[in-house]
């Protein structure tokens, strides 16, 4: 089977397994149930996700990223301001996760385990990098990492807030996200003023040479 074909099988099993994850967690039991609901045998779940639950969690995150990019590709992002593009990306991903909020909650619990910290960081980076690329970011200097670091904090905080948001249309989450983005938009300005201030202070080594 080709890599694309295998990914399609994993997608199919994942989508059918998500309702079971809400009750059984990210376990082989849920994956086998997903395989059965897909018309596949139980052994196919183990073949598709040989790493078990954590591998399925990784695929769930990557699956959301791919679907998020598909949604954003249909939006006129070029007509938006950068902050609007980022907000659109975050909300697109959360909207896609909404029908699977309990599975998302359980995935966060799995990723919060100390042994899964490297996986959690890798998935978070993958997501924020995809968001910035969709937003048209072409930076290659220090700003590349600054933008992704700031967005990682915004996405993490907003996702945790969203987990318990019962407002219509996730209005409270959208307002929370707008506030977080407004806060981080001030960081580059503050850093710029700090660099300007520091550049005006004589170097101590220059003073000692006098």
Regarding whether 96 and 7 lie in a shared domain, the answer is no
Regarding whether 148 and 104 lie in a shared domain, the answer is yes
Q: Which of 10, 28, 50 is the last residue of a domain?
A: 50
Regarding whether 76 and 36 lie in a shared domain, the answer is no
Regarding whether 88 and 39 lie in a shared domain, the answer is no
pLDDT in tens, 162-183: 999 999 999 999 999 999 998 8
Other CB atoms within a 10 A radius of the CB of residue 56 amount to 29
Query: How is residue 10 written in tokens?
Result: 């994993």
Chain centre to alpha carbon of residue 17: 20
Regarding whether 26 and 12 lie in a shared domain, the answer is yes
Q: Max CA-CA distance within the chain?
A: 82
Do 21 and 106 meet the contact criterion of CB atoms below 8 Å apart?
A: yes
14-23 contacts, C-beta under 8 A, 24 or more apart = 14/56, 14/59, 14/60, 14/63, 17/45, 17/56, 18/60, 18/100, 18/103, 21/100, 21/102, 21/103, 21/106, 22/100, 22/102, 22/103, 22/106
Regarding whether 86 and 45 lie in a shared domain, the answer is no
What phi, psi does 4 have (nearest 5°)?
-65, -40
Domain that holds residue 42: 1-50
Look at the block and give the residue holding tokens 């991903």: 93
Say how many domains are in the chain. Answer: 2
Regarding whether 176 and 113 lie in a shared domain, the answer is yes
Regarding whether 205 and 176 lie in a shared domain, the answer is yes
Q: In terms of pLDDT, which residue wins out, 97 or 201? A: 97
- Measured CA to CA, the distance from residue 31 to residue 202 in angstroms comes to 63
Helix (H, G, I), strand (E, B) or coil at 141: coil
Within 8 A by CB and 6+ apart from 208, the residues are none
pLDDT in tens, 14-61: 999 999 999 999 999 999 999 999 998 889 999 999 999 999 999 999
pLDDT in tens, 69-114: 999 999 999 999 999 999 999 999 999 999 999 999 999 999 999 9
């Amino acid at each position: 089977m080709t890599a694309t074909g295998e990914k399609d099988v994993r997608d199919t099993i994942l989508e059918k397994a998500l309702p079971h994850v809400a009750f059984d967690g990210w376990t082989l039991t849920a994956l086998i149930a997903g395989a059965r609901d897909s018309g596949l045998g139980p052994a196919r779940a183990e073949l598709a996700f040989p790493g078990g639950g954590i591998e399925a969690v990784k695929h769930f995150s990557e699956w959301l990223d791919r679907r998020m990019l598909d949604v954003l590709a249909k939006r006129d992002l070029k007509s938006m301001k950068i902050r609007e593009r980022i907000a659109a990306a975050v909300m697109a991903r959360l909207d896609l996760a909404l029908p699977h909020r309990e599975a998302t909650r359980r995935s966060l619990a799995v990723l919060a385990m100390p042994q899964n910290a490297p996986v959690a960081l890798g998935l978070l980076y993958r997501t924020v990098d995809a968001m910035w690329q969709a937003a048209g970011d072409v930076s290659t200097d220090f700003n590349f990492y600054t933008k992704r670091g700031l967005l990682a904090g915004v996405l993490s905080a907003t996702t945790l807030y969203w987990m318990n948001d019962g407002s219509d249309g996730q209005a409270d989450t959208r307002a929370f996200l707008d506030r977080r983005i407004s806060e981080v938009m001030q960081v580059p300005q503050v850093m710029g003023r700090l660099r300007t201030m520091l550049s005006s202070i004589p170097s101590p080594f220059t003073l000692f040479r006098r």
